[in-house]
Amino acid sequence: MKKLSIVDIANHLNVSKTTISFILNGRAQEKRIGKELVERVEKFVAEVGYKPNSLAKSLRTGKSNIIGLMVEDISNPFFAAIARLIEDRAYKNGYKIIYCSTDNDTSKTKDLINMFRDRHVDGYIIAPPEGIEEDISSLIKDGMPVVLFDRHLPNVSTDYVEIDNLFSTYNATMHLVQQGYKNIAFITFASHQTQMQARLQGYKDAIKASGLKPVVQEIVFDQNEELIMGPISTFLKKNKNLDAVFFGTNHVGTCGLKVINNLGLKVPDDLALISFDDYDVFKLFSPPVSAIAQPIEAIADSVITVLLNKLNTSSQHISSQSIVLKTDFNIRGSSKAK
Amino acid sequence: MKKLSIVDIANHLNVSKTTISFILNGRAQEKRIGKELVERVEKFVAEVGYKPNSLAKSLRTGKSNIIGLMVEDISNPFFAAIARLIEDRAYKNGYKIIYCSTDNDTSKTKDLINMFRDRHVDGYIIAPPEGIEEDISSLIKDGMPVVLFDRHLPNVSTDYVEIDNLFSTYNATMHLVQQGYKNIAFITFASHQTQMQARLQGYKDAIKASGLKPVVQEIVFDQNEELIMGPISTFLKKNKNLDAVFFGTNHVGTCGLKVINNLGLKVPDDLALISFDDYDVFKLFSPPVSAIAQPIEAIADSVITVLLNKLNTSSQHISSQSIVLKTDFNIRGSSKAK
DNA sequence: TCTTTACAATAAATCGATTTATCAGGCATT
DNA sequence: AATGCCTGATAAATCGATTTATTGTAAAGA
C-alpha cells in the first residue's frame, strides 16, 4: 500500500516518465503529445489517485507553495483573526501557510526567517519587530516576495499593508475632547514600531491642537499580564486627576480594564475609555468600550492580494506598493459626554 | 550570493561529499573519520554558515520535521492559545508547525489531511470533526503518529488528550443547584462530538440527580454570529421562567452574553450564568461570569509530549494512550446565591 | 609471500519529480 | 539520394542531500 511514484505510473502504462510529467503539468499540447495517450494517462492517474511527491517537485523547481506567516502572537485576537483570513485565502489559491509568533523578539525572528528560508517558502508575510531591517532587506535582495503588515520598516522599501494609525488616534482623541474631557492619558507599550509611534503621534497632535497637556505612560511588554497590570495600576493611582484614558492596543486595553475593575473605578464617570482594536471584550464590558476597529478582512485581503500578485508576476520592475486602510471608530458608552 | 550546497563544500575542501554528510550528521566516529578532518570540515561549515537543504534531506530520509496541526478555528481564543503553546514546544524540539482550521467541516478536513500527507508531515495533531473516522484510521494504519485533542473518535483507537467534560459540567451544574437555582437551561452547539456529548450528559446527570427538569437548546453552528444569537434570543424570550443558563462553549457563551445585553437582562438576578471555557470576556463582564477553565498549558504540554514520544520511539508496540485532564471551576458573580 | 583485517575515505545509487537534449520515423524539398 | 523539417516520444541530466557499496593502503596473521 506504499505510495506510488511517477515511475510506477510510467511502467504500468509503458510510457516514459517524461511524458507523464509533461501531461500532468499541462504541457501536453506544447510538447505535441498524442491526444489518446493523454487521455489514457489522465484516466489512469485519476483512477489510482496518483499525486506527485511535492518534496521532489519543490526540490527540482525551487517552489514550495508555502507562505511563511509571522505574526507577533497568534494568541492575540487581532493576529488570530488576520491569520485565519489569510489562511483561507491562501488555501484557496493553492498555498499552504507555515506560521509562527515572533513575540516581537528580534533574535527569535531572525531564527524564524532562517527557518522559513531553509524550508524554501515562496513568500513571506511579516509583522516585523524592530531591528530586523537587514534580514528583511536581505530577503528582498535575494528576490523573495515579502509583504509586511500592521507596521513597516522606515528604511526598507517593501510592500506593506497598514491602517491609518495617526488619523485614527487623532480622531478618537478629538472625540474625547469634544465630549468635554480635559485630562486624557495615553497608555501604550514602549515601542519604536511605526504603528505605535503613529498612534502616539495622533494622540499628541490632537491634544496639542486642543490646547491640553499630554500624559503618556509607556509599559514594557511582558508575557506575564501581572507585569503589565502593575504599572497601569500604579499609574492610575498616581494620576487621580485623569478623566479619560486611551489604550494604545487591545492587549493594553484588556489589561487596563482588569485594573479598572480591580480599582473599582466607574466608567465613564470616574474615567472615560477608548481602546485601539475592537473585539468582544470591549463590546461586552459595562459600559461597552469605545474602540477603533481595524478592517481585519480588508487587511487580510490586501496582504494576500499583494503577495499573490508578486508571486505570480515574477516582474521585478514593479516598485514596492504600500496600502493604507481606514479604520472604524465605534463610539460606545465608555466615552459618553461629561 | 546563491546558497551553497554540500558539493560546494566538498569541492572547496577537497573532500568527498559523503564525508561531509557523515560528519554533519554526527556519524564521524562511527564511520572512523580522522579527527583533524572532522575539525577542518566543521570549522569551514560554521564559517560559511552552510545549512543542508532540508527539502533534499526530507526527500531522501522521508522525514520533514513538520507537524501538522488542525484546530477547529484558529481565531477562537481557546484554539489560538493552544496553538501558540504547541508551536513553542514544537519549535523548541526542532519541529515546525503547519496549521489550518477545519471549521468542523468534514470534507474540508479530508482535503487538509491529504495536503498534510502530501507535504510529508511527520506527525498530526488534530481536533477532529465528525465523520473523519476512516481518514484518521487510514493515517494510523499507515504508521503516521496521530494525537487527537479536545475530543476523540469513539471508534478509532488513537492517542488523545482531553479534559473531564462530564465531571466539569456536572460539578458546575450542581453549583447552580446549590445556589438555589431551579430552572437551569443548557445552551450548546448541535454536535455529536464526544466533548459536546459529555458536557451535555454532565449537565443532564446533575439535573436529574437534583430532581429538576432539563432544558436543552441546541444551536446550529454558523460563521455568522447573528445566526447564533438569533436562536439564543428567541429561546430566552420563550422561556421566561429560566433562572440560570449554562453555555456549553466559549463561543456560545460570548454570543449569549451579547444577547443578554441586548435583552437588557440583569445577571444574576434575572438570570444566573456559567460558561464552559474561560477567557477575558468572562472575567471582565459585569458581573464576571463563572466559567470552567480548561488547563490550556497542560493540554498543550500533554499533546506535544505524547506526539514527540511517538515520533522518537518508532515503537509500534505501545498501545494508544489517552490523557484526561482536570478543569478549574472559577466561581464568580454571575452565579451568586439566589 | 599471500591473505586478512582495520582503517580512512570515496564513488555511485537513491529519493521522485522536472527539464534539457536526443532520437526515430515520415514527409517534403532540392 | 541526400537534406531538412515536423511529429511524437524518450533518455539522460538535474535538484541536494543520505545511504550503500567500493576502493586503497598499511598492519597483522598464516
Q: List pLDDT tens digits, range A209-238.
A: 999 999 999 999 998 999 999 999 999 999
Is the pLDDT confidence value at B1 over 90? no
Half-sphere exposure of A48 (CA within 13 A, CB side): 19
Beta strands B290-293 and B272-276 are parallel
Q: What is the pLDDT of residue A338?
A: 79
Q: Over 70: is that where the pLDDT of A132 sits?
A: yes
Quote the mean pLDDT of chain A: 94
Give yes or no for CB of B313 within 7 Å of strand D: no
Q: Which strand D nucleotides have any atom less than 7 A from protein CB atoms?
A: 7-12, 14-21
Residue B197 confidence class, pLDDT cut points 50, 70, 90: very high
pLDDT (tens digit per residue) in A141-197: 888 999 999 999 999 999 999 999 999 999 999 999 999 999 999 999 999 999 999
CATH number of B61-163+297-326: 3.40.50.2300
pLDDT given for residue A275 in this prediction: 98
Bridging pattern class, strands B290-293 and A96-101? unpaired
Rounded to the nearest 5°, which phi and psi values hold at A113? Answer: -60, -40
CB-CB contact of B262 with B255 (8 Å): no
Residues B188 and B158: beta-carbon distance below 8 Å = no
Average pLDDT over residues B27-31: 90
How far is Cα B131 from Cα A282, in angstroms, rounded to an integer? 37
In 10 A of CB B297, how many CB atoms? 12
Q: Name which of B50, B57, B59, B278 to mutate to probe chain A: the one with the most chain A Cβ atoms within 10 A of its Cβ.
A: B59
Exposure string for B196-205, b = 16+ CB within 10 A, e = fewer: bbbbbebbbb
Residue nearest to nucleotide D7 (CA to C1'): A32
- Interchain pair B55, A54: CB under 8 A: no
Selecting from B55, B119, B258 the residue whose C-beta is nearest the C-beta of A59 gives B55
Report residue B314's pLDDT band, with 50, 70 and 90 as the boundaries: low
Residue range A76-98, pLDDT digits in tens:
999 999 999 999 999 888 898 88
Cα–Cα distance, A318 to B144 (Å, whole number): 44
Average pLDDT over residues A54-77: 93
**Chain A residues with CB inside 8 Å of B100's CB?**
87, 91, 96-97
Compare B317 and A14 and report the one with higher pLDDT.
A14
**CA-based nearest residue in chain B for residue A296:** B75
Asked whether B207 and B183 are in contact (CB, 8 A), the reply is no
* pLDDT (mean) for A228-257: 97
Contact B64 A73 (CB under 8 A): no
Minimum-distance CB partner of B80 among A59, A74, A285: A74
What would the grid cell of residue B69 be? 496541526
Please tell me the least confidently modeled range out of B27-31, B38-42, B207-211, B301-305. B27-31
Pairing of strands B96-101, B123-126: unpaired
Residue B333: name the closest of B273, B257, B261, B251 by CA: B273
At A318 the pLDDT is 64
**Average pLDDT over every residue of B275-285:** 96
What does the alpha-carbon distance between residue B199 and residue B170 come to, in Å, rounded to a whole number? 8
Task: Cite the residue boundaries of each domain of chain B with CATH code 3.40.50.2300.
Answer: 61-163+297-326, 165-294+329-335
User: What are the backbone dihedrals phi and psi of residue B127, each rounded to the nearest 5 degrees, phi first?
Assistant: -100, 95
β-bridge partners, B121: none
A192 Cβ contact list (under 8 Å, min separation 6) = A130
User: Distance between CA atoms of B300 and B82, rounded to whole angstroms?
Assistant: 6
* Average pLDDT along chain B: 93
Taking 70 as the threshold, does the pLDDT of residue A57 lie above it?
Answer: yes
pLDDT at B94: 84
User: What average pLDDT does this structure show over B188-208?
Assistant: 97
**B104: region left, alpha or beta (phi > 0 left; psi from -120 to 50 alpha):** left
Q: How far is the CA of B18 from the C1' of C6 (A)?
A: 20
Of B56, B99, B258, the CB nearest to A284: B258
Question: Nearest CA of chain B to the CA of A111: how many Å?
Answer: 11
A61-163+297-325 CATH choice from 3.40.50.300, 3.40.50.2300, 1.20.140.150, 3.40.190.170: 3.40.50.2300
Sequence letter at residue A136:
I
Closest-CA distance of chain B to residue A138, Å: 11
- For CATH 1.10.260, the residue range(s) in chain B are 6-52
Q: Give the distance from residue A126's alpha carbon to the nearest chain B alpha carbon, in angstroms.
A: 16
| Predicted pLDDT of residue A316 | 57
For residue A119, what pLDDT is reported? 81
Least confident piece of the model among A91-95, A208-212, B82-86, B198-202:
A91-95
Phi, psi of A2 (to 5 degrees): -70, 155
Residue A8: nearest nucleotide (C-alpha to C1'): C16
CATH architecture of B6-52: Orthogonal Bundle (1.10)
The fraction of chain A above a pLDDT of 70, given in percent, is 98
B165-294+329-335 has CATH 3.40.50.2300 classification? yes
Sign of CA dihedral B302, B305, B310, B313: negative
B179 band by pLDDT with thresholds 50, 70 and 90 = very high
